[in-house]
Chain A
Amino acid sequence: MPVAPAHGATMAGVPVLDPVTAPAVDESSSTDDEAVRPWLVVVWDDPINLMSYVTMVLRRVFGYPRERAERLMLQVHHEGRAVVAEEPREQAELHVAQLHGYGLQATLERDT
């Protein structure tokens, strides 16, 4: 992480802005950041969905190879939940809907 210059100091003759007189933060840039920040697709453990079924569904919905799908399934099983994808909101919504269609308990979360 870079160290901030001292107040009034310059870097190669370029004055550093005094924080008191610095222009206000551009709100549109933080909105843009939020727009591109990925959303998380989370699958939750439950006592009904079979491990083989969860693995198969993850392969069908996301196209994951068997090994990755099994690894995620085991994480759901042992830890109670797993992030199975990080993607733009629209795609994440579609995938959560597909997982719901298969009966998995899946939710959408903002990536913090």
Chain B
Amino acid sequence: MAGLEADADGIRLRLEVTEARVLGSLARGLAGRIERAAASDVTDDVVLEPLLPAGSRGDAAVDAELRGLVRDDLVSLRSGRLLDLADLLGVDEGGAGPDADLDRVLDPDGAMRVVEALNDLRLALAATVGYAGASAEHRDGPPDPDDAEAVRRSETGRLIDALAWLQGGLIEFIEDD
């Protein structure tokens, strides 16, 4: 079970091996997706929409100009920190690892990098299922077990909320510093 606790040198992050493996794989997978989309100039990937957002709503010229200015930087910023997260969690380029539970102490800068990468993951996961927020998920109740899509949405929603807990705890540590 994931855990955070204060440490003399920073904040201690603990993840079970399966948690680290899932999270690291997601991070590496999303980094690859971002890089492939950038390389092929893809602009209609719904998962990447919140990660490469509009620069203006209602002014196409301003939007196009801002997107053109920042797209490359956003791509390298996001893929860089997602790959850093995957490395931290011990998932290599081939998708293998880790072999043991994670137990690492993060300083404020390291914690901030993780916070930002977790945010990217949550945005992308939400985009895959049209996530409407924790309160909406709670209000809708458990899914029909025979509805595979509803089950997938629910499981993804729970993952998003779990990552939110992790992210929130790290933010508390960073802001207290």
Bound pair: A and B? yes
Binding site for B on A (CB under 8 A): 44, 46-50, 52-53, 56, 93, 96-97, 100-103, 105-110
A-B contact pairs, 23 of them (CB 8 A): A47-B126, A47-B131, A47-B133, A50-B171, A52-B171, A53-B115, A53-B119, A56-B171, A56-B174, A96-B55, A97-B69, A100-B70, A101-B74, A101-B77, A103-B123, A105-B50, A105-B54, A106-B53, A107-B63, A108-B55, A108-B56, A108-B59, A110-B59
Q: How far is the CA of A56 from the CA of B173 in the complex (A)?
A: 12
Interface bin, chain B: 35 or more
Interface residues of B (CB under 8 A from A): 50-59, 62-63, 66, 69-70, 73-74, 77, 115-116, 119-120, 122-123, 126, 131-134, 136, 160, 164, 167-168, 171-172, 174-175
Chain B contacts of A103 at CB under 8 A? 50-51, 116, 119-120, 123
Which chain B residue has the least Cβ–Cβ distance from A44?
B57
Note all chain B residues with C-beta closer than 8 A to A107.
54-57, 63
Report Cα–Cα, A44/B59, bound state, in Å.
16
Partner of A93, one of B66, B133, B160: B66
CB neighbours (8 Å) of B73 from chain A are 97, 101
- Which of B51, B132, B136, B168 contacts A50 (CB under 8 A)? B168
- How many pairs of residues, A versus B, come closer than 8 Å at their CB atoms? 77
Complex partner residue of A47 from B115, B116, B136, CB under 8 angstroms: B136
In the complex, A46→B53 CA distance in Å? 12
Q: Per DSSP, are chain A's interface residues mostly helix, strand or loop, or mixed?
A: mixed
Q: Which residues of A contact B54 (CB under 8 A)?
A: 105, 107
Judge whether B126 and A48 touch: CB under 8 Å.
yes
- CA gap between A58 and B74 in the complex, in Å: 18
- Which chain A residues border B63 with CB–CB below 8 Å? 107
Query: With A103-B51, A105-B53 as given contacts, are A48 and B69 in contact (CB-CB < 8 Å)?
Result: no
Which residues on B sit within 8 Å (CB–CB) of A93?
55, 66, 69
What are the residues of chain A within 8 A of B175 when measuring CB–CB?
52, 56
Residues of A within 8 A of B77 (CB): 101
- Taking the closest CB of chain B, its distance from the CB of A53, in whole angstroms, is 6
Nearest CB of A to B135, in Å: 9
Residue on B nearest A110 in the bound complex, by CB: B59
A48 lies within 8 A of B53 (CB): no
